[in-house]
Amino acid sequence: MEDVLDLDAEPPDPKRPRVCFDERPVQLVGETRVPLPPGPGQPARYDYEYERKGTANLFVHFSPDGPDGRGGWRHVAVTARRTRHDFAHQMRALVDEHFPEADVVRVVLDNLNTHTPAALYEAFAPEEARRIASKLELHYTPKHGSWLNLAELEISVLSRQCLDRRLESIPVLTHEVAAWQAPRNAARATIHWRFTCADARTKLARLYPSS
């Protein structure tokens, strides 16, 4: 826990950016009848019936630093699945596309069994896997401590502002997520984390070994 809290307390470093990573399943839902558009004094109306269209997955990256050290950056990738290979490709995009100038990207993530360096070696040739792994520094949240991952807070905002409606396909979901993401990045919307190691030692003293 303190490893993640210490990381949160550090100042931005463009050469060693911090990125919080998490994922969220999404149920794709379609309409069975055409919704009625809004009118004067009347909101849009939707039928209570709906059609299940399968599921999708969101990989959410949030950085309090941003690629330039000025904070407030997020990227949401929409995928059909969340396998080890999918995770590996997200990590490659992180070091090659999103933070190509960084010496190392420090990633906060949970202990899901797909979130391991071994996934890189399953997805890529050994030389490529090693190249990517050498630019990653993984910091795992403790068991039952995923709330320490700032990406969870970003997912909460995403869920309230974008996912609270019927989205019927991966292309539609991708479009809507991109439309939500762009203005937040432009505004450099960020999270001001205030919980520190000192707070943890006081408020969560029961979790520390007693002499």
CA-to-CA distance for 76 and 169, rounded, in angstroms?
16
Task: State the pTM of this model.
Answer: 0.86
Mean pLDDT in order along the chain per 10 residues (211 residues) = 81 92 93 66 64 92 88 95 97 97 96 95 97 97 85 96 92 97 95 77 71 58
Distance of alpha carbon 109 from alpha carbon 115, whole angstroms: 8
Number of domains in the chain: 1
The whole domain housing 13 covers 2-207
Q: What is the CATH number of the domain that holds 108?
A: 3.30.420.10
pLDDT at residue 47, as a whole number: 56
Cβ neighbours for 18, distance < 8 A, ≥ 6 positions apart: 7, 8, 10, 12, 63, 64, 65, 106, 108
